[in-house]
Amino acid sequence: MIEPKTFQPISGQKLLDLPQVRALPADTQFAMRVVATVLPFRVNNHVLEELIDWSRVPDDPMFRLVFPQPGQLEPQVFDRVAELIKAGADEDTVQREARAIQTQDLNPHPAGQLEHNVPLVDGVRMDGIQHKYRETVLFFPSQGQTCHAYCGYCFRWAQFVGIDELKFASREAEGLASYLREHPEVTDVLLTGGDPMVMRTRVLERYIEPLLTLDHVQSIRIGTKALAWWPYRFVTDKDSDDLMRLFERVRGAGKRMALMAHASHPVELEPKVAREAVRRIQDTGAVIRCQAPLVRHVNDDPEVWADLWREEVRLGMVPYYMFVERDTGARAYYHLPLTRALEIYREALRRTSGLARTVRGPSMSADPGKVCLDSIERIAGEEVFVLRFLQSRNPDWSGRTFFARYDPSAAWLNELQPAFGESKFFFEESASAVQAQSRIAESV
Ligand SMILES: *Cc1c(COP(=O)(O)O)cnc(C)c1O
C-alpha cells in the first residue's frame, strides 16, 4: 500500500522559509536568494522528503538539480543582483534587473525554437504546435507549461506560465486535430511542456481524445518528469485511476501511448511510489521510454548512467536518448565538453547488456536536427569527431555521418569546424536555404 500525499509546491523566494534551507550556512542561503531572483525555482514535498539526501547536501545530486546553485549565474551577473539586494533596492528594481538578465544573458530561446518550427495555416501561426521532423508533431498544451518541480538546467525555463480553463483546452485541441488532418505523414504526436502531467485527467483527455479518431496517428507520446518529481500523479492522486483508464483507451483505439520519462539519476526510481507508478502505467499497455541530459554536478559519471539504464531495463522501461545540455540558462554550471560526454556514454554503455543499448547519444537537439557524436577517430592523419544525424529538419539527412575537427573544449554543434579543410558542413548550405524559405513564409 502506498500512502497518498498531497502535492505541496514551494516556489521562488519561499525556499528561504524551508527548515532544511534555514539549517544551511547564511552565505549559502543568500546565494540561493540571489539565484532564485533570476532563475525559476520550484520544489515539492516528494522531492524534499524522498529524493534529496539532506545529509549529503550540498553535494547531493537531486539538491544540485533543483536548488539554486551560485555557479548557475556568471560571477558578474551574480554580483549585479547580489549588490542590488545588499543595498536594499526595492522589489521593482530587483525584478527589472532580473528580467534584463533573463533576456540578455541567458539565451532564453535556443536552437531557433521560436522562429523556425511553428507552422502556418492560411497565414496564421499555429501557436502551441512545432513541426520540425516529418513524422512527429510537438504540441505544447497551454495548461501543461509548468512542472511539479523545476530542473536547474531546464531549456524551457523561459515559458513557465499558467492558465486554467477547459474551454481553452478544447479549442486548442481542435486546432491540433485540424492541423493533423492536413498532415497524413505525421505518425506521432508528442505532448510536451513544461510537463503535461501537471494537468488534471479531465483536461488531458480533451487533448488526447480527438487524436484517437485520426487513423495516421499511431503513437501518442507525453514528455514528463512526473515519475521522478510527482509519481503520486499515477498512483494516489484523486484522478490517478481516471488517468489509467485514459491510457487504456489509447490502447483500445489501436494506438500506443508512450511516456517519454525524463530520468536523470537512479535515485529518482528508488521510492516505492515511483515503482508502483511504473507498474500501473505499464499495466495500461503504455510503454515508458527514458531520456535525460548529461549534466555536470548531477549525473556526469558513467556508473550513474549504467545504474540508471540497468534499473530502467529491470523495470521494463526503454533507455532512449542521452542528451547534451543545451546552450541556454544556467548552462555554464551544468555543461560538459563533448569529449567528456562521449567518454561517459561509452563507458556506461560498456557496463550494460544489449537490452540497455537502445539508448542513443550523446545527442544534441540543434537547429538542423538531432546530432549524435559517435566517436573520435584519426582519419587520413587528422583527429576528427565522427557525427551523425539521428533526426533532421530535412528527412534526407537522417542517418548521414559527417566529420568535424577534434576540439577538446567544444560543447555544442555550433562550436565545431568542418574537418579535412572543408569550409562548410554538408547541411549548412541547404539549412540556410530552409531558414530563408521559412522567413519568407513568415513574412507573407
Ligand atoms: C526529439 C524531437 C522529436 C522526437 O524525435 P524522435 O527521434 O522521433 O524521438 C520531435 N520534435 C522535436 C523538435 C524534437 O526535438
Per-residue model confidence as pLDDT tens digits over 207-221? 999 999 999 999 999
Mean pLDDT of 273-296: 97
Strands 360-366 and 369-379: antiparallel
pLDDT at 113 over 80: no
User: Quick one: pLDDT band at residue 298, thresholds 50, 70, 90?
Assistant: very high
- For the stretch 238-248, pLDDT in tens is 999 999 999 99
User: How far, in Å, are 7, 13, 320, 393 from residue 401 at the CA level?
Assistant: 46, 47, 20, 15
Which protein residue's CA is at the shortest distance from atom 10 of ligand 1? 136
Residue 324: pLDDT band with limits 50, 70, 90 = very high
Residue 111 has pLDDT above 70, yes or no: no
Cis peptide bond N-terminal to 58, omega within 30: yes
Q: What is the mean pLDDT of residues 285-297?
A: 97
Q: Are 224 and 172 contacting, i.e. CB atoms less than 8 angstroms apart?
A: no
Distance between Cα 133 and ligand 1 center (Å) = 7
Residue nearest to atom 13 of ligand 1 (CA): 132
Residue 440 pLDDT level (bands cut at 50, 70, 90): very low
> Which pLDDT does position 125 carry in this prediction?
76
**Statement: residue 387 has pLDDT above 90:** yes
**Measured between alpha carbons, how far is 232 from 365 in angstroms, rounded to an integer?**
30
The pTM for the full model equals 0.92
Residues with CB under 6 A from ligand 1: 130, 132-133, 136, 138, 190, 365, 370, 391
> How confident is the model at residue 268, as a pLDDT?
98
Query: What are the Cα distances from residue 145, in Å, to 59, 111, 149, 159, 263?
Result: 29, 19, 12, 7, 19
Q: Rounded to 5 degrees, what are φ and ψ at 418? A: -60, 145
Atom number in ligand 1 closest to CA 135: 8
Given phi > 0 = left and psi -120 to 50 = alpha, else beta, which region is 149? beta
Rg for the chain, CA atoms, rounded: 22
Q: Which residue has the higher pLDDT, 160 or 44?
A: 44
15 Cα to the center of ligand 1, angstroms: 34
Residue 150, pLDDT > 50, answer yes
In ligand 1, which atom is closest to the CA atom of 136?
10
Q: Ligand 1: distance of its center to the CA of 97 in Å?
A: 35
The residue whose CA has the least distance to atom 8 of ligand 1 is 136
Residue with cell 540508471: 308
For the segment 160-186, the average pLDDT, to the nearest whole number, is 77
The grid coordinates listed for 105 are 544573458
Per-residue confidence (pLDDT) for residue 441, from 0 to 100: 41
Please report which confidence band the pLDDT of residue 115 belongs to, taking 50, 70 and 90 as the band edges.
low
Task: Evaluate if residue 163 carries a pLDDT over 70.
Answer: no
Pocket test for ligand 1, best of 113, 118, 136, 358 (most atoms within 8 A of CB): 136
